Amino acid sequence: MLAPMAGVSDLPFRLISRSFGAPLAFTEMIDVRAISHRDKRTRKMLMSSPDDRPLGVQLLGADEKYLAGALDVLTEYDFDLLDFNAACPTPKVTRKGKGAALLKEPRKLGAILKVLVDYSKVPVTVKIRTGWDEDSVNAREVALYAEDAGISALFIHGRTKAQGYNGTVDYKNIKEVKDALKIPVIASGDNLSLLLIKKMFNETGCDGVAIARGALGNPWIFREAIRFFQDGTLMTGFSMDERIATIIKHFDLVIEYNGEERGIGIFRKFFIWYTKGLRGIKPLRDKAFRTNKKDQFLEIVEELRTFHDFHLSSL
Ligand SMILES: Cc1cc2nc3c(=O)[nH]c(=O)nc-3n(C[C@H](O)[C@H](O)[C@H](O)COP(=O)(O)O)c2cc1C
C-alpha cells in the first residue's frame, strides 16, 4: 500500500498510485486540533474523491481531549480507516509529545487508541517505530498496548525515532512485533525495490508492506510488485512514453485540484522525482522551476521525449 507522506500523499498522488494498483492509501498526518478547527489547509488534506478508496486518514495528536471533537468533524468525510501516528520523528512534532514521542509513553498511547477505537465508526490502526533510540527499542511492548486497545492492524517503520530516515532497517524487531501480535502487521522502511520488498516479507513474516520513498517518481512500483508477488514476473521497466503520459496525468490532476499557479508550485517536486536519473536533465528542470504557466510546463514535459528512452526498474 501507499504509506502516508506529509506534503506528498495528496489526492492526485494517491489517485496516480492507485491507477498502478496501490490497494490502500493514506492522507498525510493531520493534527487532531486542526481538524476540530476546520481550517482550510486541513480541509484540503482531507479532500478525497469516490475513486480514492479505500482511504485511511492519519491523525496526529497527544491530547485525548481533542479526539472526540476531531472524530465528530470527520463524520462529514468519507473514508475507511483511521490511522494514528506514533512514528513522526520531526522535533516540531515530538517536542509537543506527539508522533514518535508517544513511543516513550506506551500506556498513554494505548489510552488514546482506546478512545479512538470506542468513538470511531471505521477500523483504527496505529503507525509506530521500533523505539525512541537504540537504547530504548520497545516496539513489542508498544504494539501489545496498542493491540489491547482494540486496534485492527499495526504499521511499523523499522527504524528508531533517532534514526529518522537513515540507517538500516531493523527487520528482526519487526519480526518480533509480528510474532507477538494477533492483528495484521504492515511493515515499512526501505521498501524501495522489489528485492527489498521481498526481503521485508521474508525476514519479518509481515502481512503487508507500505511503500513510501520507493513510490516517489515511481508509482509503477505498485504494478511491478503486484505482478511479482502474483506470478513471479519481473517487469524490467517502462517506456518514456508511459512515463510522460503518467507525468501529464498527474500534473493535470494537481492543476485540477489546486489551480494553475499553486498546482505548478506543488508539482515541481514531483517533476524532479519523475526525472531522477536522466542524464543532462538540469537545464530542463531549471526551466520547469522558472515557469508558472500550465502550457509552458506541458511543453517542458514534452521535451522529455528528446531524452533517451531509459529503463528504470523497481528491481
Ligand atoms: C516526505 C515524507 C513524509 C512522510 N510523512 C509521513 C506521515 O505524514 N505519516 C507517517 O506515518 N509517515 C510519514 N513518513 C514515513 C513513511 O510513511 C515511511 O514509513 C518511511 O518513509 C519509511 O519508508 P521508506 O524507507 O520506504 O521511505 C514520511 C516519509 C517521507 C519520506
> Is residue 184 pLDDT above 70, yes or no?
yes
Rounded average pLDDT over 304-313: 70
- The pick from 24, 194, 196, 213 for probing ligand 1's pocket by mutation, whose C-beta has the most ligand atoms within 8 angstroms, reads 213
What is the average per-residue pLDDT within 242-247? Answer: 94
Alpha-carbon gap, residue 220 to 126, rounded angstroms:
27
Report the share of the chain in percent with pLDDT over 70.
97
* Ligand 1 atom nearest to CA at 191: 26
Higher-confidence residue of 238 and 64: namely 64
Q: How far is CA 246 from the centre of its chain?
A: 19
Q: Give, in order, the Cα–Cα distances in Å from 138 to each of 62, 128, 210, 226.
A: 19, 10, 21, 32
Ligand 1 site, CB within 6 A: 3-8, 28-29, 58, 85, 87-88, 127, 157, 165, 188-192, 212-214
Write down the pLDDT at residue 233. 86
Closest CA to 3 of 30, 24, 18, 32: 24
Whether residue 312 has pLDDT greater than 70:
no
Does pLDDT of 307 surpass 90? no
139 Cα–ligand 1 center, Å: 17
The model's pTM: 0.96
Nearest to 112, CA basis, from 59, 155, 75? 59
Which residue, chain included where needed, has cell 522502511? Answer: 189
| Grid coordinates given for 97 | 509529545
The pLDDT assigned to 239 comes to 84
Neighbouring C-beta atoms of residue 120, cutoff 10 Å: 20
Q: Considering only CA atoms, which residue is closest to atom 29 of ligand 1?
A: 5
Burial 217-245 (b: 16+ CB within 10 A, else e): bbbbbbbbbeebeeeeeeeeebebeebbe
* pLDDT value at residue 235: 75
Ligand 1 pocket check: which of 30, 45, 59, 165 to mutate, most ligand atoms within 8 Å of Cβ? 165
Kindly tell me if the per-residue pLDDT of 194 is higher than 90: yes
Average pLDDT over residues 135-163: 98
> Which of the four pLDDT bands, split at 50, 70 and 90, describes residue 39?
confident
Q: How far is the CA of 211 from the centre of ligand 1 (A)?
A: 9
**Confidence band for 277, pLDDT divided at 50, 70 and 90:** confident
Each residue's pLDDT tens digit, 49-82: 999 999 999 999 999 989 999 999 999 999 999 9
